[in-house]
Amino acid sequence: MPTLDMPLRTMAHNPAQLPATPPARATAAPPPARAGRFAPAAFAPSAAAAVAWAVHYWVPSHQTDKPTHIYPKFLLIVLVAGVVLGLTQRLWRRVKPTAWNFPLAFASNLLHWAVASAPVLAAGVLLLCAWDLVTLKLALVPLPYFPGPDAVFQTLVNDWRSAGLGQPGLAECMTSSLALLLSGYAVGSVLGIAFGLLIGWFPVARYWGVPVMKLVGPIPATALIPMALMLFRNPTLSAVWLIALAVWFPVAMLTLSGVMNVRASYLDVARTLGAGQGYLVFRVALPAALPNIFVGLFMGMGTSFLTLVVAEGVGVQAGLGWYIDWARAYSDYAKVYAALIIMAAYFSTIMTLLFRVRDHVLVWQKGVIKW
């Protein structure tokens, strides 16, 4: 009697005839390293920095007669670095980082990216120049609301260690806000996914849970401050709670939608494979809902930033939101913009990381559906 091991005959009689598509590892390796052409565009940031510096030096200032010195120094650094980068551009290639070459690989990749993005960086520098013109030089917009870039750069340097009066400086505010943001986000996401799974799977839970979600979710954080103070003695915990609540709502909503849209045939097949409730929920419904869950996670990241400023108004000792409130009380908008720039940099980095995570987890999605 033929045994189980008898292989089925396929049209290919030997491996050479197998279909051409290799089962490629879904994480694409970086494109093969090749030396770029010598592109003059790599010098664009230096050219832009030169223009900006010239404008700053020669155009008379109208907004105030005491501009600061950090900004022109920064421009000179960009100029010199840009020239060096342009001259060495052919050295930098994309290298796959491994355990032993990580610092070198990271540096090479970063510089390669800088060369490739030179036009964008140049545009950024020209934007600084335009800002300088509109505010400090031509005073087209009024103080105190629109200080020039020199004031903002000076603030970043001055306030790094301490913002005055023995209070924490930007460095401490940055770490404090990051810790708060990440803990609030983590708590809110986990609870949101759990809640969404629960009400997505059990009709009874959905009956009670959806009204709760609709009532609680849209409440703005400012209205919840007294409750936060009542619930938690520790101001950090109240702040984390406020952020977690803001994140919970979109994540729960989209997890719910993801779970309810799982293809019934997946669940049917799993049941005929002998799956119990646990397998169906955690190994079929949850993976199938992951694309929607990631949409929720991105939305939650946005709302957590918006809530940060409010959450830091309940007794925390440091933080970017706290710093912004103080700066607004003084009408010192240079500080406000400095803090906003840092928040934007955070947001950009965290979003990039989140996209990377998503790319890794959702590696199974067809290229055409990717967002």
- Whose Cβ is closer to another protein: residue 39's or residue 325's? 325
The binding track of 152-181 with respect to another protein, each residue x by CB under 8 A or -, is ------------xxxx--------------
| Torsion of the alpha carbons at 263, 267, 270 and 272, rounded to the nearest 10 | -120
- Whose Cβ is closer to another protein: residue 29's or residue 273's? 273
The CB-of-220 to another protein minimum distance in angstroms stands at 11
Residue 150 in the binding site for another protein (CB under 8 A): no
- Whose Cβ is closer to another protein: residue 99's or residue 223's? 223
Residue 73 in the binding site for another protein (CB under 8 A): no
The binding track of 259-298 with respect to another protein, each residue x by CB under 8 A or -, is --x-x-xx-xxxxxxxxx--x---xx--xx-xxx--x--x
**Cis status of the peptide bond prior to 40, with omega within 30 of 0:** no
Phi, psi of 65, rounded to the nearest 5 degrees: -95, 10
Query: What is the 3 state secondary structure string of 133-148?
Result: HHHHHCCCCCCCCCCC
Query: What is the 3 state secondary structure string of 190-252?
Result: HHHHHHHHHHHHCHHHHHHHHHHHHHHCCCCHHHHHHHHHHHCCCHHHHHHHHHHHHHHHHHH
- Whose Cβ is closer to another protein: residue 88's or residue 348's? 348
The binding track of 230-249 with respect to another protein, each residue x by CB under 8 A or -, is x--x-x--------------
Task: Retrieve residue 267's tokens.
Answer: 């669940």
Binding-residue total with another protein (CB under 8 A): 101
Residue 329 in the binding site for another protein (CB under 8 A): yes
Q: Which of 344, 353, 356, 360 binds another protein (CB under 8 A)?
A: 344
Contacts to another protein from residues 79-108, by CB under 8 A: none
**Residue keyed to tokens 């000076």:** 154
Q: Which of 83, 95, 198, 225 binds another protein (CB under 8 A)?
A: 225
Question: In Å, what is the CA distance from 240 to each residue of 176, 235, 298?
Answer: 12, 9, 18
In DSSP terms, 167 is beta-bridged to 164
The binding track of 19-38 with respect to another protein, each residue x by CB under 8 A or -, is x-x-xxxx------------
**Residue keyed to tokens 């990631």:** 294
Query: How many whole angstroms from its chain centre is CA 52?
Result: 29
Residue 43 in the binding site for another protein (CB under 8 A): no
- Whose Cβ is closer to another protein: residue 50's or residue 167's? 167
Round the CA-based radius of gyration of the chain to a whole number and report it.
27
The H-or-E segment that residue 288 falls in is helix 286-311
Residue 331 in the binding site for another protein (CB under 8 A): yes
